[in-house]
Amino acid sequence: MPTISFDQAIEAALAQAMAEDARIVILGEDVHTLRRNLFVRFGRDRVRATPISEAAFVGAAVSAAMAGLRPVVEVYMVDFLGVAMDALLNHAAKLTTFSGGRWKAPLVVRAPCGGGYGDGGQHAQSLWGWFSHIPGLNVVVPSNPADAGALMLTALADEGPTLFMEHKLLSEDWLGFLGRGGRDTVSFDVPTDGAHGQGPDFWQPLPLGEAASLRDGDDLVLISVGVGVHRCLQAAEKLAPDGIAAQVIDLRSVAPLDEKAICEAARRTGRVVVVDEDYMRYGLSGEIAAVLMAADIKARFGRVCTAETIPFDRRREEATLPNVSRILARARGIMG
Amino acid sequence: MPHTKPDLPLLYRQMLRSRLFEEAVRDLWQAGWIPGEMHLGLGEEAICAGIVMQLRRGDAMALDHRGTPPLLMRGIAPDSLLKEFMGAPDGLCGGMGGHMHLFAPEQLTASSGIVGAAGPTAAGFGLAAQQLRPGTVSLAFFGEGAVNQGMLMEAFNLAAVWKLPVLFVCKDNNLAITTASDTVTGGRLADRARGFGLAYFAADGADVEAVWRVADKALRRARRGDGPSFLHFECVHPEGHFLGDPLIQIARQPGDQLKQMAPSLLKAAVRGRGASVGKRVGSLTTISRLVGRTALKEIWGRHDPLAKCRKKMKLDPRQLDAIAAAVKAEIEAVVARATNAA
Ligand SMILES: Cc1ncc(C[n+]2csc(CCOP(=O)(O)OP(=O)(O)O)c2C)c(N)n1
């Protein structure tokens, strides 16, 4: 299997699907340059640059999906979905229910997310919890190239609207574009195994809502998505010499949530730390705590999340986002 | 007593100050002192100076992602801006905002990196001006790419029906990152603005005197209570969309960048199961035009506001040198203080 980047995996999976299904179209600002390879291969009708009008083109993608296309609509960053929230919240997510199950919107929304390169709090959010709050939306957050390509096929095959979130620290293209800008005078804490990895020659979808256990351990379980997964793996590595064996679970999607995998791990280890780059309040970490309580599982619980508006200053940004030392402190805290 | 004529040497000095400050920011960004994206207002100096230098106490500004020149010209200390860009606790916003999220409550100035957001913000500032501070105004700065954003068009309408004292200032370089705006914008901007009931003014955005004159008219209207205007100025961005802009990098070092891009583009052009050959050639043409447009253009051309102003002022070279030396010394001292403190 060849080694590929996170971006190449998504592009390869998309190209494979687009070659098979002429209903798949890509819409978004600057896609003629950002997705130039697909633009050249599939032409301007299927890779269509939009004006800066998110409310219109995300809304139009929903109804285009209702009328037979399979749109992949891109926004520059998940933060900007605020402008188009209505299309997802009140339209895409409600359609199946409102139509008595007779109508679907098979739509994929691609949104870069996450911080760690000093772009300020309007350009660094994760927000998967915000979208997962809404019944009727799938929210996938891949943490490596193999999952990213496979989950893109999953999203394309699914009959419902799916938000596909790409962390900018995993994406060489986005990080190069927004963070590095051709400089070698700045550096980033990029998880190597997340940005590059193995990819198959022929892509197969993964089941939606199935977590992956990336490391075994009986003493506690660290649960995360996206870049957080890699921070957890690093933390688990550092806990090992102290005799603490940590399991690491990559949820891969926030909605649907793999409650079974979460409950099994919590039952077995009795200790759970959720590492969530998204906001702490009313989010993934609270949801997991509720799932455990509802299942009558007695486990010690901790969470490492983003509690505040993300600072621009990189030192304070780094301290605000979940990092390895915060995970270690929390993990050691619930061991005692 | 309002001026009836622009004070060109004063405007020139402000433009030069903004230019040299932003060039220093560019160098510091390149050297890694400033993280993330960095959008400069290089090329927009005349638009900013011609309008902002006519503001008075109590006037408000809603800025986009190129907020440095208007803030400098409104009297914000360059030290506090530079320190903000470097993330220092004593920056304008304590290092919490960065260059796209700049706020100055005393100057009633707010910024946003959300394209189009300046529209509603200026409308609200205009509403407060109308009710609390009659005779004051608010400005919205945005690019031509933003005019397709719903919230901006909704703000046009709100300002028109409420007769708000707002100047909607469109800085038009006909390029939104890598999209030629005329390919994604229906109709003409003049018609669009008038269709919303806004007074429409246009002038050469590199000519500070021309900008000053139309701004003077629009400001008088707004201060009198005659309602909002749309001011339309053309300009160029010599550093591209943001520092490190790939199109500009291609223009400067065609070999390196194209070598990276070309193999995958060629592969895409010949892969089976895709569009017709004609369509593929069409896409390749679009991309190469975009690259060519950036690479071939003498970017400043007639569009350098400073060069234009120098021609008009007819100051003798010694006077020009004196201005340049004073501004340069000021900016060098700002840079030295910020880098020594870090
Ligand atoms: C709502 C929203 N959509 C997209 C973006 C990404 N973006 C930042 S600047 C920009 C282009 C803006 O073009 P224009 O308004 O012409 O201003 P210019 O950058 O040319 O000065 C885009 C698409 C954003 N910041 N906000």
Torsion region of A315: left, alpha or beta (phi above 0 gives left; psi -120 to 50 gives alpha): alpha
Provide the pLDDT for residue B253. Answer: 81
- What is the pLDDT at residue B213? 98
CA distance A284 to A275: 9
End-to-end Cα separation, chain B, in angstroms? 44
The verdict on A41 touching B (C-beta cutoff 8 Å) is yes
Best of B37, B38, B115 for a ligand 1 pocket test (most atoms within 8 Å of beta carbon): B115
- With a CB cutoff of 8 Å and minimum separation 6, the contacts of A75 are A28, A29, A54, A58, A81, A84, A109, A110, A111
Identical fold between A3-198 and A212-335: yes
- CB < 8 Å to B37, chain A: 119, 123, 178-179, 181
Q: What is the pLDDT of residue B296?
A: 58
Q: Does B271 touch chain A (CB under 8 A)?
A: yes
Chain B neighbors of A45, CB-CB under 8 A: 275, 279
Inform me whether the C-beta atom of residue B310 falls under 8 Å from chain A C-beta atoms. no
Residue B241 Cβ inside 6 Å of ligand 1? The answer reads yes
Provide the pLDDT confidence category of residue A140 given band limits of 50, 70 and 90.
Answer: very high
Structural domain spans, chain A = 3-198, 212-335
Q: Taking Cα atoms as reference points, which of A224, A236, A231 lies closest to residue A324?
A: A231
Predicted model pTM: 0.97
**Residue B108 is encoded by which pair of tokens?**
């009633």
- What is the mean pLDDT of each successive set of 10 residues along chain B, which is 342 residues long? 82 98 98 98 98 98 98 98 98 98 98 98 98 98 98 98 99 96 98 98 98 98 98 96 92 80 92 94 92 73 94 94 98 97 88
Let me know: does B90 contact A56? Beta carbons within 8 Å.
no
Q: CATH code for A3-198?
A: 3.40.50.970
In chain B, whose CA is at the least distance from the CA of A39? Answer: B283
SS3 A74: strand
Q: Give whole-number Cα distances, A240 to A330, A336, B67, B184, in Å.
A: 15, 16, 49, 56
Q: Which of A193, A262, A191 is nearest to A221 (CA)?
A: A262
CA dist A72 and A157 (Å) reads 12
Task: Tell me how far the alpha carbon of residue B39 lies from the centroid of ligand 1, in angstroms.
Answer: 10
What is the interface pTM, i.e. ipTM, of the complex? 0.97
Specify the pLDDT at position B1: 45
B39, B65, B279: best mutation site toward chain A, by most A Cβ within 10 Å? B279
The answer to whether B282 contacts chain A (CB < 8 Å) is yes
Helices B8-30 and B317-341 sit at what angle, rounded to 10 degrees?
Answer: 40
> What is the pLDDT at residue B334?
98
- What does the DSSP 8-state code read for residue B94? T
CB contact under 8 A, B31 and A55: no
Nearest Cα residue in chain A from B153: A53
Q: In a mutagenesis test of the A interface, which of B148, B260, B267 is the best target, namely the one with the most A β-carbons within 10 Å?
A: B148
The pair phi, psi for residue A217, each rounded to 5°, is 180, 145
Q: B8-238+302-341, which class in CATH?
A: alpha beta
Q: Would the CB atoms of B31 and A30 count as touching at under 8 Å?
A: no
Residue A194: pLDDT over 80: yes
Is B251 in CB contact (< 8 Å) with chain A? no
For chain B, what's the residue count? 342
What are the sequence ranges of the domains in chain B? Answer: 8-238+302-341, 246-299
Beta strands in B223-325 (DSSP E): 229-234
Residue A195: pLDDT band by 50, 70, 90 thresholds?
very high
Over range A202-229, report the average pLDDT.
Answer: 98
For A238-266, write each residue's pLDDT tens digit: 999 999 999 999 999 999 999 999 999 99
| Option in B93, B98, B287 nearest A32 (CB) | B287
Closest chain A residue by Cα to residue B89:
A313
Question: A212-335 architecture in CATH?
Answer: 3-Layer(aba) Sandwich (3.40)
Q: What is the pLDDT of residue A174?
A: 98
